[in-house]
């Protein structure tokens, strides 16, 4: 495993798209967190309420969930480049098995999820300690498990991206299909199903790991209740989907000619 990770890091670290996407992720997240305090609710600035513990962890990971697709796009670019430049074929010829190829990409996914999760954790800790009111500081790590939920969510979306990359092999096709599925196709499927069923669909189950902190207020204003899994309930379906995406990626790679 260590050898596979070293090989992947040698390919990843000089990759300009990696630094561009991660830089964009960090910059936009920091700007969002900083400027979100000026948002007004009922005519009053949100202010330091955003940064108070323990609520900051749910709010921060919910913001971060909007950018997990960026990580998925990065994974698809990494994998489709292996097809475009025929490095996958060469690695197989040199003795790398197909399952080791999938294992190597899963390791990269875990590393990227860990990096983004640690970034969110230290961002929350920094902004919270700097701007929250003193009374909330006794609850610094309460609800910090939302960062763990975000970690699982990031792995889930990147594992889905792995599957799309293996299926389509071309970066443009894979990215378009990935975005269309997550933005449109699953939403259309949800319209045909009841909440009690569609809450187990991949995108909705993964989204439930970092719920909208204002969902209850929005439901009360609209007069309808949206049935969703709690983050704890979503962990098992999310883990199942991660395993399914990885196994399906391997099986497709195994039976398909390179």
Write out the chain's pLDDT in tens, 258 residues: 888 889 899 999 999 999 999 999 999 999 988 887 666 555 555 555 778 888 899 999 999 999 999 999 999 999 999 999 889 988 888 888 999 999 999 999 999 999 999 999 999 999 888 888 766 777 889 999 999 999 999 999 999 999 999 999 999 999 999 999 999 999 899 888 887 888 999 999 999 999 988 765 555 445 556 778 999 999 999 999 999 999 999 999 999 876
Contact 65, 207 (CB under 8 A): yes
Domain boundaries, the chain: 2-29+46-255
pTM recorded for the entire structure: 0.92
Helix axes 16-35, 55-65, angle to 10 degrees: 140
Tracing tokens 């990759």 back to the chain, one arrives at 15
């Amino acid at each position: 495993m260590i050898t596979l990770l070293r090989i992947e890091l040698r390919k990843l670290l000089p990759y300009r798209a990696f630094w561009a996407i991660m830089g964009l992720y960090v910059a936009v997240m920091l700007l969002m967190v900083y400027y979100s305090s000026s948002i007004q609710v009922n005519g009053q600035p949100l202010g330091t309420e955003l940064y108070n513990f323990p609520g900051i962890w749910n709010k921060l990971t919910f913001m971060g969930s909007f950018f997990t697709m960026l990580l998925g796009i990065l994974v698809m670019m990494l994998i489709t480049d292996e097809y475009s430049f025929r490095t996958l074929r060469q690695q197989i010829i040199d003795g790398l098995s197909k399952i080791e190829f999938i294992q190597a990409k899963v390791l990269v996914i875990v590393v990227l999820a860990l990096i983004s999760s640690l970034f969110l954790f230290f961002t929350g800790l920094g902004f919270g300690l700097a701007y929250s009111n003193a009374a909330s500081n006794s609850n610094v790590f309460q609800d910090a498990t939302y960062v763990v939920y975000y970690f699982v969510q990031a792995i889930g979306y990147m594992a889905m991206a792995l599957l799309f990359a293996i299926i389509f092999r071309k970066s443009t096709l894979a990215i378009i299909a990935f975005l269309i599925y997550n933005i449109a196709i699953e939403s259309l499927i949800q319209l045909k199903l009841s909440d009690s069923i569609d809450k187990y669909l991949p995108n909705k189950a993964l989204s439930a790991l970092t719920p909208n902190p204002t969902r209850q207020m929005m439901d009360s204003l609209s007069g309808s209740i949206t049935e969703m899994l709690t983050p704890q309930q979503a962990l098992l379906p999310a883990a199942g989907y991660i395993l399914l995406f990885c196994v399906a990626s391997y099986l497709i790679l195994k039976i398909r000619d390179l």
